[in-house]
Amino acid sequence: MESKELILKTFKDSGKPLKTGEIVEISGVDKKEASKIIKELKEKEVIYSPKRCYYDIK
């Protein structure tokens, strides 16, 4: 499975906002790569930040 798909699956399965560290821990994706994907998903408005340093799927 591709890193982006793993991260999106992590969001869907969690059911709550997650920090980058939690996303990395659950998905197993490298932290730098995860940060880059999160930034990209946020720009495309697939995810949002309900509070500082937390992200969730729209």
**Other CB atoms within 10 A of residue 36 CB:** 14
Q: pLDDT (tens digit, 9 = 90+) per residue, 36-45?
A: 999 999 999 9
Cα–Cα nearest to 3, from 43, 42, 32:
32
**Other CB atoms within 10 A of residue 46 CB:** 15
Distance, CA of 1 to CA of 49 (rounded, Å): 25
Three-class SS state of 47:
strand
What is the per-residue pLDDT for 8?
94
Q: pLDDT (tens digit, 9 = 90+) per residue, 14-31?
A: 999 999 999 999 999 999
Domain range summary for the chain, segments of one domain joined by +: 3-57
CATH number of this structure's domain 3-57, picked from the four choices 1.10.580.10, 1.10.10.10, 3.40.50.150, 1.10.10.60: 1.10.10.10
